[in-house]
Structure 1
Amino acid sequence: MYWWHKAAQETLAGRTRRFGFITTNSIKQTFNRRVVQSALDEGIYLIFAIPDHPWIDATECAAVRIAMTVGALPVEVCLHASPTPPAKPTSKIASKLAPTPSPTGRLYEVTREIPDEETGEHSIQLSCDLGKVHADLTTGTDSARISPLKANEGIAHMGMKLHGMGFMVSKDEAATLGLGKTSELSNHIHPYLNGRDLTNNSRDALVIDLFGLSAAEVRERFPKVYEHILRTVKPERDQNKRATYRDRWWVFAEPRPLMREALNGLKRFIGTTETAKHRLFSFISGSVMPDQKIRVVASDDAFLLGTLSSRPHLVWSSLQGSTLEDRPVYVNSTCFDPFPFPDCTEAQKGRIRKLAEEIDAHRKRAQAQHGLGLTDIYNVLEKLRAAAMLTAKDKVILDDALVSTLLHLHQELDAAVADAYGWPWPLTDEEILERVVALNAARAAEEEDGNVRWLRPEYQIPRQKEGKPKDQSELGLTDAAGSKPSSGKKERPAKPSPVGPQAAQPKIAWPKSLAERAKAVESALSAATVPVTPSELAQRFARAKPADVAEILDTLVALGRARAGDMQGTFVR
């Protein structure tokens, strides 16, 4: 995306009239989309786009998906058709939703692909839609201008990243290591679930979780476990480029302390597979340790499960998420954080909870009794929805999983969630997006005035009052060895700020455009006297998010304008 950004800047400077690129279809994904949005905010408009097109090269045996985009500056004749300028927005909500004058672009979608077996080429049929082309390469409702909501903060997380297959053990292996015999070992061996387990049938895998213990404590309290991890995990970790992964080899690479805190005390939570053909949310037992391929929603409320499983959220997440090949990818920051949940009566919530519990129990029963995977069940459900022909295998699944009943429950859930929003039903996908985007703007405006509709107020409000930090090191959960600091030891003197004398100065304003943010981050990194983390660098700016700084730093590394520091997660100029 560097050259896309560079070409947009050349066009804005008047040194060229338009530019075009063939890129991978990941241009629609979160970070790349921000590059495009930055150019649109500065005056570029997209006059031509194909978001997803096959790229076939029989000679090189290549078969990938690409996108095509053409950007240009507006010309006077293409500007707003009305002779009078649009009225100035009268409220915060209206300003967020107000249309901006823009020329018409052409958005082409591939409607049919016909491969030629002799040449390997594909004959493509396209449909064309005229309108303003947004940064996500769609027309219609502009969902690129949505805001994350405080109401959803601290609820959605990514599961554990192990980086060591030796952490996973069978029941027999766990028994050999002392499970059931060694005191307190049951606190450190848990059921483990990955994305395939969630959508198909669980392997009944267990995982050794030593988070919160030092290596010495593991060796003294659980010698067999220490020996096992020493043999099966440490050799792999010794080869890892990240210093903390190497040094803290007995602990998961990413132990997710914030997720642990959010799940503490919950008997169940909500999970969905990161990448899946069908976007399905399920309740997971609180005793389970989720893998990194599971997106975790830290709530035991079936009202949230029902809303997430309903058509409004599914339409929203399919647009806001990413894609891997042709499968949707659920991204917490764009799918969950900005999504406005309905603010409704207890009776409406009760109806949604009842239907969500029924759907979850129905699916689990079919999986347990017939060994069916959720993907197979929902393949049949979607065929029923489309009134498509069923195969013999489909008919068996239809009968075993009672798929017609499951479809009926989903239809009732969709209607119940629409009623909770106060919307008519049914709605088209575009009408759903219009309403969700409008509601996001309304909620964001409310939150600016201090009115936050928390999802878990009993958990979120105390954290906000405490000013709970987001960085693991700031939480005080672990020291360099991965164990909680002992209160009996003297505290070490505070080390100098990594950003040197500048840390005492007023914070720098966080620029609005991506290009200016990149310059500001590079400048701050150059001024740092030691390697810094994205969180530390973000503290130099007012309202900068560590995640945004991290993405810019990763881009600077890719461009050769920064490099990774010696310690995991740090950067230097």
Structure 2
Amino acid sequence: MNLFRRAKALLSTDEPSAATITVAQPPTIAQPQAPDAAPRHLLVPAEAAGDAESDALRHRAANALVGKHLKRPEPAAVDPTPPAPAAEPSLESTLTPEPEPEWRPVALAANRGKFFQSPTPVGKGFILEREEAKAVLNDWSIPYSDVVRPYLTSEDLAEDPRQQSGRWIIDFGQRELDEAGRYPRALEIVEQRVKPERDTNADESFRTRWWLFGRPRLPMRAALDPLKRYAVLGSLGRRMIVAWAHPWIVASNSTMIFAGDDDYSMGILLSGAYDTWARAGTLEGDLRNTPTAALATFPWPDPVDARQREAVSTACVTLYRRRSELCREREVGLTRLYSLGWPEANPDLAKLHRRLDEAVADAYGWDPSIAADQARILERLLELNREVAEGRRPYSPFPAAG
């Protein structure tokens, strides 16, 4: 049952609270307020997400309808001797139902191996405050920096002016217990704080390998190993948060990872096109950058020529640099930067976002005007996902390494 049929059922009740229903989506970072007309399709996640997740996210897809107000008609006044009953407006005349989506996006095979959920420690005892980590790292007799690393969370991405971590974490990677013993101070902390909790865990592997992260994400580690940096995406929140991180940094499980270090890819992730796609399947504007909800289904531009790639890269570098400068100058994180009078308070940054969005639109082969039109962006991305999934369009957006 789609949103409008559910709204119709609700509005037919006698509850005063059901008199008006509003479905709205806030503006994105890179886009102005969405146009008045709603998209023809509701973006929903891949079927591969699983029934429970798919059902939940399918309801969140209602957020793709922008600025629609649904009102129950007021009842006619009661007149004991009316000459003729006044005709009430019908629900059909006050509700404009959207058609059912013709296509539900699916995960694209070529996107595999590029996006990952960050590691899950399974045990708060792995995490160290700054001073405790400093004390361990200052023991120069042992290279503790091998296993004591900065720990970057979604909150750090959103609130820290430099998008840097505030805490640290002990991460033994896949070292066996005897190897972990080469870092005695770190292992002692984990044994005292993590092992007691793990000893009662129902998962046997968590109990027997208590010094290791519960979900270390080995494919992710292999993908990041040759890179000079990687992109971290805040997985929840009203703002699209993307930033670079050094491979030494461990991103928390509240984030997602893109295994790429080129400015072109960062430009696509910072664009209004990706933001629109990610936001379209959400509830009340909250972004959920899970592989099935957005990253795995998102159709990247392909093919892209050298000129288009360079244009996106250049726009991205300029935007990212200016964004970082403003955060440092004002000592604010990205959330505040994009909340305080945006975009009027930062016209130069807004202009750089528009330039990036137009470069990305060109990479897709779209007219520049589409860069500011969320409805048309969704329609085209949805059709592109379908063409790729059905084998009607070649799709290899990520060049092989080397």
Pairwise TM-score range, normalised by the shorter structure: 0.7 to 0.9
When normalised by structure 1's length, the TM-score is: 0.52
Does residue 377 of the first structure (1) align with residue 337 of the second (2)? yes
CA distance in 2, matches of 1:309, 1:37: 23
CA distance in 2, matches of 1:285, 1:255: 18
Give the structure 2 partner of residue 465 of structure 1: none
Specify whether residues 267 and 179 from structure 1 end up closer, same or farther in structure 2 by C-alpha distance, changes over 3 A only. farther
Say if 2:358 and 2:368, in contact at 8 Å, map to a contact too: yes
3-state SS of the aligned residue for 1:327? coil
Give CA deviations for 1:404-424 in whole Å, capped at 9, x if unaligned.
Answer: 111010011111111111111
Q: What is the aligned-residue RMSD (CA, Å)? A: 3.4
Select which of 436, 441, 453 maps to 2:381: 436
Q: Identity over aligned residues, as a percent?
A: 24
Select which of 157, 160, 173 maps to 1:211: 173
3-state SS of the aligned residue for 1:177? helix
Specify whether residues 148 and 51 from structure 1 end up closer, same or farther in structure 2 by C-alpha distance, changes over 3 A only. closer
Does residue 279 of the first structure (1) align with residue 240 of the second (2)? yes
3-state SS of the aligned residue for 1:162? coil
1:235 to partner: Cα distance: 1.9
1:218 to partner: Cα distance: 2.0
CA distance in 2, matches of 1:177, 1:37: 43
CA distance in 1, matches of 2:311, 2:343: 27
3-state SS of the aligned residue for 1:276? coil
Say if 1:307 and 1:417, in contact at 8 Å, map to a contact too: yes
Amino acid at match of 2:173: F
Give CA deviations for 1:458-509 in whole Å, capped at 9, x if unaligned.
Answer: 28xxxxxxxxxxxxxxxxxxxxxxxxxxxxxxxxxxxxxxxxxxxxxxxxxx
Paired positions, count: 332
Give the structure 2 partner of residue 310 of structure 1: 271
Give the structure 2 partner of residue 475 of structure 1: none
Alignment of 1:153-552 (within 5 A): 153-177=112-136, 179-201=138-160, 202-219=164-181, 221-320=182-281, 322-323=282-283, 327-342=286-301, 343-380=303-340, 382-384=342-344, 398=345, 403-427=346-370, 428-446=373-391, 451-458=394-401
Specify whether residues 284 and 203 from structure 1 end up closer, same or farther in structure 2 by C-alpha distance, changes over 3 A only. closer
Higher strand share: 1
Q: Which moved more, 1:171-180 or 1:239-248?
A: 171-180
Give CA deviations for 1:225-259 in whole Å, capped at 9, x if unaligned.
Answer: 22111111112222333222222211111111111
Q: Which moved more, 1:365-374 or 1:431-440?
A: 365-374
Alignment of 1:128-139 (within 5 A): 128-134=95-101
Q: Extract unaligned runs of 5+ from structure 2.
A: 2-8, 11-22, 24-43, 72-92
1:34 to partner: Cα distance: 4.7
CA distance in 2, matches of 1:430, 1:277: 19
Shift >6 Å, 4+ stretches = 49-53
Say if 1:167 and 1:209, in contact at 8 Å, map to a contact too: yes
Say if 2:148 and 2:186, in contact at 8 Å, map to a contact too: no
CA distance in 2, matches of 1:332, 1:173: 34
Say if 1:263 and 1:286, in contact at 8 Å, map to a contact too: yes
3-state SS of the aligned residue for 2:207? helix
Specify whether residues 435 and 52 from structure 1 end up closer, same or farther in structure 2 by C-alpha distance, changes over 3 A only. closer
Amino acid at match of 1:207: I
Say if 1:308 and 1:314, in contact at 8 Å, map to a contact too: yes
Amino acid at match of 1:441: R
Say if 1:150 and 1:454, in contact at 8 Å, map to a contact too: no
1:37 to partner: Cα distance: 12
3-state SS of the aligned residue for 1:174? helix
3-state SS of the aligned residue for 1:328? coil
CA distance in 2, matches of 1:156, 1:349: 20
1:188 to partner: Cα distance: 1.2
Specify whether residues 456 and 193 from structure 1 end up closer, same or farther in structure 2 by C-alpha distance, changes over 3 A only. farther
CA distance in 2, matches of 1:132, 1:415: 30
3-state SS of the aligned residue for 1:458? coil
Give CA deviations for 1:181-217 in whole Å, capped at 9, x if unaligned.
Answer: 1333221111110000011113432211112222233
Say if 2:230 and 2:257, in contact at 8 Å, map to a contact too: yes
CA distance in 2, matches of 1:108, 1:359: 29
**Of the two, which has the highest radius of gyration?**
1
Say if 2:136 and 2:144, in contact at 8 Å, map to a contact too: no
Specify whether residues 37 and 349 from structure 1 end up closer, same or farther in structure 2 by C-alpha distance, changes over 3 A only. closer
Q: Extract unaligned runs of 5+ from structure 1.
A: 5-19, 39-48, 54-106, 113-125, 135-141, 385-397, 460-573
